[in-house]
Copies of this chain bind each other. A is one copy, B any other.
Amino acid sequence: VVRWEPGAPERLQKAALELFASQGFEETTAAQIAQSVGLTERTFFRYFSDKREVLFAGQDQFEQAFLVGMDEAPSDASPIGSVARALRSGAALFPDERRSFSRKRQVVIDQNPPLQEREQHKLSHLAITLAQALRGRGVDELEASLAARCAVTVFELAFARWISEGERRSLTDITDEVLHNLLALTRRSRV
């Protein structure tokens, strides 16, 4: 019988982040993470395939947060209009209570190139998923890829600002600002 540990994944995530930050990602083992919150290594592996994935859990939920917004866009929305909805619902996954966790997580990622590559992979995958959803809405292949990548660029730059030192605005507000900057930038050009 597998015993259910209420809140175990969240406790493991929090503990992992503390250990990665204090003693380094490479130096921390799954067993140490589990032990630090009174759980076994076996319990750890019930929730995460390895210690790296503790930092990247919930990719499905992450992508779903964006897709939900896009699904709610009117059927005649422009590709960028649909993407704006997706960005707004994606941003809602990161309320201010989550900012301190996200900041700590970023410090760990910034110190470890393979984690940076994993983070890039996560964002590339989001772009693929959004492009697919746009094509499902009848947007042609090239426009879907362009709009999806613009969305990911906006999210990435907004997220980096959201977790920057001293920043207090919500991710939703910052995302709106970055998107409007992107649109202003391209509208202003005479190419």
**Interface positions of A (Cβ within 8 A of B):** 78-81, 84, 117, 120-121, 124, 142-143, 145-147, 149-150, 153-154, 157, 178-183, 185-191
Tell me, in angstroms, the Cα distance from A150 to B80 when the chains sit together: 14
Q: Are B142 and A146 in contact (CB under 8 A)?
A: no
* Nearest chain B residue, comparing its CB with the CB of A140: B181
Give 20 pairs: A residue, B residue, CB < 8 Å, sorted on A.
A80-B185, A80-B188, A80-B191, A81-B189, A81-B191, A84-B189, A84-B191, A117-B120, A120-B124, A142-B178, A142-B181, A143-B181, A145-B157, A146-B178, A146-B182, A150-B150, A150-B186, A153-B153, A180-B191, A186-B187
**A182 neighbours in B (Cβ, 8 Å):** 146, 150, 186
Q: Are B146 and A78 in contact (CB under 8 A)?
A: no
* Nearest chain B residue, comparing its CB with the CB of A145: B157
Q: Are B157 and A78 in contact (CB under 8 A)?
A: no
**A142 neighbours in B (Cβ, 8 Å):** 157, 178, 181
Q: A145-B157, A149-B157, A183-B189 are in contact. List 12 more A-B contacts (CB 8 A).
A: A80-B188, A80-B191, A117-B117, A120-B120, A142-B178, A142-B181, A143-B181, A143-B185, A146-B185, A183-B186, A183-B191, A186-B187
**A146 neighbours in B (Cβ, 8 Å):** 153-154, 157, 178, 181-182, 185
Q: Are A191 and B179 in contact (CB under 8 A)?
A: yes
Q: Are A190 and B149 in contact (CB under 8 A)?
A: no
Tell me, in angstroms, the Cα distance from A150 to B191 when the chains sit together: 14
**A149 neighbours in B (Cβ, 8 Å):** 153, 157
Q: Are A78 and B189 in contact (CB under 8 A)?
A: yes
Tell me, in angstroms, the Cα distance from A114 to B138 when the chains sit together: 33
**A181 neighbours in B (Cβ, 8 Å):** 142-143, 146
